């Protein structure tokens, strides 16, 4: 039986590992290649690097990190962050990434996802969806402040947008969760599947950094809406959260950062916990 | 020397690094001469079946691959590099493969909505015929898969392992010098490295350097 996947995620900035709490306040925590090797030994099922390097000149550093990681960790590696062009996908795959995750650029130009999937295959194109509960989202944008992430094509595809009169559901955000797009998360995930994406990395922006558990309603809504695998992300604070993400949330995989990275739980411990409760994992 | 065929598809770096890790001498090459001279040949492949076939032909390497598969030299196909060894695929209509092994490539059509496509992650392999490549590999060992299409064959004699997902599909095939895996040994940690080490151990002699 196919095992549910446990995926540690390393946020990497300028070649160093950091982890933000709600994407603000970064803590430096080491060399990504060494972390990758440790997760490989611990039996992580995959590894994800999220490159949050802001400066354009330093963007090449992640390639070297990917190259060095691929030399010593013989496990699947996903890299995301700042992927804008088909050429960016090609460069990352060539450096040793197995999958590339696309977020902001997919919203700006959904055809980019289609082009990348055509060029390299659906199996290596992940679309990262950052979603906020509509009620929370409305509160955030109530004062009209902040920059809108609403894409130029939005009016052409009204069927993908949230209903302004209804506060149910989830809205997707871009630029690390700062810009509301007006797009409905579930409809968007389905559209990404149609365009050839092979997997959805679904992050609850409401839960990210809170350790309050994954947003199970969101995860389940997206997992049931698409036929491609869904990775739950955002809010995990304990093995129990992973259990509910995989069972009630119906996720195919769970992503976690700080709880592994600061040694609160090892991957082995989490897998044992899940196996004892009947979840199929690779031990 | 093991030649990893570079025909512009896939992550060759992972394959070559994993082979080096188990002590093999490896060259990544798109040169027909180097492929002919190598002691063993690895044909990787990701993405679309048709795209891989087109690239193999336009790189002028179809004959080199046919010749290597027909030789006594150990030959390893990985993922779509396995699939194109078969007769045809129903990906985007009907596409002809190399037809070196009997069988066709079909898309997963899960009846259970909880089964996602691509089949992505760690699943078990059950040994039907113990190829030398599987020496020391436990029954139901887990390896890493990522694919939406699978091989279906009527020739049980070439089925090395099967894996249940929607159907019981051929997760590795073996005939003579040819071994082919739907999974990615180069991404399957210790189990994958063991399979690659078994493959590398079949390489006799040093051969010409490339």
Q: pLDDT of B94-116, one tens digit each?
A: 899 999 999 999 999 999 888 99
User: Which H or E run includes A263?
Assistant: none
Across A166-200, b (16+ Cβ under 10 Å) vs e yields eeebbbbbbebbebbbbbbbbbbbbbbbebbbbbb
- Determine whether A11 is an active site residue: yes
Residue among B115, B119, B122 minimizing CB distance to A282: B122
Residues of B classed as catalytic: 79, 184, 186
B209 located within any domain:
no
Of A45, A88, A130, A206, which residue is the catalytic one? Answer: A130
**Do strands B75-78 and B178-181 pair parallel, antiparallel, or not at all (unpaired)?**
parallel
Residue among A43, A96, A199 minimizing CB distance to B13: A96
Number of Cβ pairs < 8 A linking chain A and chain B: 102
**Strand blocks (E) in B45-189:** 75-78, 88-89, 95-96, 104-107, 119-127, 141-147, 149-152, 159-165, 167-175, 178-181
Closest chain B CA to residue A3: B122
Q: Which of B64-78, B84-98, B139-153 has the lowest mean pLDDT?
A: B84-98
B210 located within any domain:
no
> Which range of residues forms the domain containing residue B57?
2-203
With pLDDT > 90 as the criterion, what percentage of chain A qualifies?
Answer: 66
- Determine whether A130 is an active site residue: yes
* pLDDT tens, position by position, B80-98: 999 999 999 988 778 999 9
Residue among A71, A198, A224 minimizing CB distance to B118: A198
**Does residue A23 carry a pLDDT above 50?**
no
**Does residue A22 carry a pLDDT above 80?**
no
**Does residue B204 carry a pLDDT above 70?**
no
Chain A nearest-CA distance from B193, in A, is 8
**Does residue B209 carry a pLDDT above 70?**
no
Q: What is the pLDDT of residue A260?
A: 82
| A112 three-class SS | helix
**Does residue A175 carry a pLDDT above 70?**
yes
CB contact under 8 A, A76 and B117: no
Interface ipTM above 0.90:
yes
B51 located within any domain:
yes
B29 located within any domain:
yes
CB contact under 8 A, A123 and B148: yes
CA B137 to chain CA mean position, Å? 17
B149 located within any domain:
yes
| B47 vs A contacts (CB less than 8 Å) | 119-121, 123-124
Q: What is the pLDDT of residue A143?
A: 60
CB contact under 8 A, A74 and B13: no
CB contact under 8 A, A75 and B189: yes
Q: What is the pLDDT of residue B15?
A: 93
Q: What is the pLDDT of residue A26?
A: 36
Indicate the number of domains in chain B. Answer: 1
CATH number of the domain to which B52 belongs: 3.40.50.880
**Does residue A83 carry a pLDDT above 80?**
yes
CB atoms within 10 A of CB B168: 13
CB contact under 8 A, B187 and A227: no
Residue among B46, B48, B193 minimizing CB distance to A74: B193
Best residue of B4, B6, B11, B54 to probe chain A, by most A CBs closer than 10 Å: B11
pTM for this structure? 0.94
């Amino acid at each position: 039986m196919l095992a549910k996947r446990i995926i540690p995620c390393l946020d990497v900035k300028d070649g160093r590992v950091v982890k933000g709490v709600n994407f603000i306040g970064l803590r430096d925590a080491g060399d990504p290649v060494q972390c990758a090797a440790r997760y490989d030994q611990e039996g992580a099922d995959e590894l994800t690097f999220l490159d949050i390097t802001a400066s354009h000149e330093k963007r090449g550093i992640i390639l070297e990190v990917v190259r060095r990681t691929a030399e010593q960790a013989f496990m699947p590696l996903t890299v995301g962050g700042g992927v804008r062009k088909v050429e960016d996908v090609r460069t990352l795959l060539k450096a040793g990434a197995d999958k590339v995750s696309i977020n902001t650029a997919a919203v700006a130009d959904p055809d980019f996802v289609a082009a990348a999937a055509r060029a390299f295959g659906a199996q290596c194109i992940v679309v990262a969806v950052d979603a906020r509960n509509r009620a929370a989202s409305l509160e955030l944008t109530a004062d009209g402040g902040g920059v809108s992430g609403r894409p130029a094509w939005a009016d052409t595809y009204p069927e993908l947008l949230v209903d302004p009169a209804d506060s149910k559901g989830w809205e997707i955000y871009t630029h690390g969760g700062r810009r509301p797009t007006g797009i409905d998360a579930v409809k968007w995930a389905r559209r990404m599947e149609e365009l050839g994406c092979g997997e959805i990395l679904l992050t609850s922006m409401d839960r990210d950094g809170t350790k309050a558990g994954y947003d199970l309603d969101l995860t389940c809504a997206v997992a049931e809406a698409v036929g491609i695998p869904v990775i739950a992300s955002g809010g995990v604070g304990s093995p129990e959260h992973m259990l509910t993400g995989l069972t009630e949330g119906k996720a195919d995989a769970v992503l976690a950062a700080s709880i592994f990275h600061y040694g609160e739980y090892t991957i082995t411990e989490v897998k044992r916990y899940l196996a004892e409760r009947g979840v199929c994992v690779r031990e | 020397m093991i030649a990893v065929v570079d025909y512009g598809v896939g992550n060759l770096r992972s394959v070559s690094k994993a082979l080096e890790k188990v002590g093999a001498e490896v060259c990544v090459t798109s040169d027909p001469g180097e492929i002919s001279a190598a002691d063993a040949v690895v044909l990787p492949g990701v993405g679309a079946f048709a795209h891989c076939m087109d690239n193999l032909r336009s790189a002028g390497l179809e004959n080199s691959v046919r010749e290597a598969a027909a030789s006594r030299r150990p030959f390893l196909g990985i993922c779509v590099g396995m699939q194109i060894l078969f007769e045809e695929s129903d990906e985007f209509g009907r596409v002809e493969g190399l037809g070196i092994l009997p069988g066709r490539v079909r898309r997963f059509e899960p009846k259970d909505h909880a089964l996602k496509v691509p089949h992505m992650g760690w699943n078990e392999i059950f040994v039907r015929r113990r190829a030398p490549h599987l020496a020391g590999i436990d029954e139901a060992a887990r390896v890493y898969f990522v694919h939406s299409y699978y091989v279906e064959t009527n020739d049980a004699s070439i089925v090395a392992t099967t894996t249940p997902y929607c159907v019981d599909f051929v997760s590795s095939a073996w005939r003579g010098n040819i071994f082919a895996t739907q999974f990615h040994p180069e991404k399957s940690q210790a189990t994958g490295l063991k399979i690659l080490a078994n493959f590398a151990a079949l390489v006799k002699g040093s051969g010409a350097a490339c």
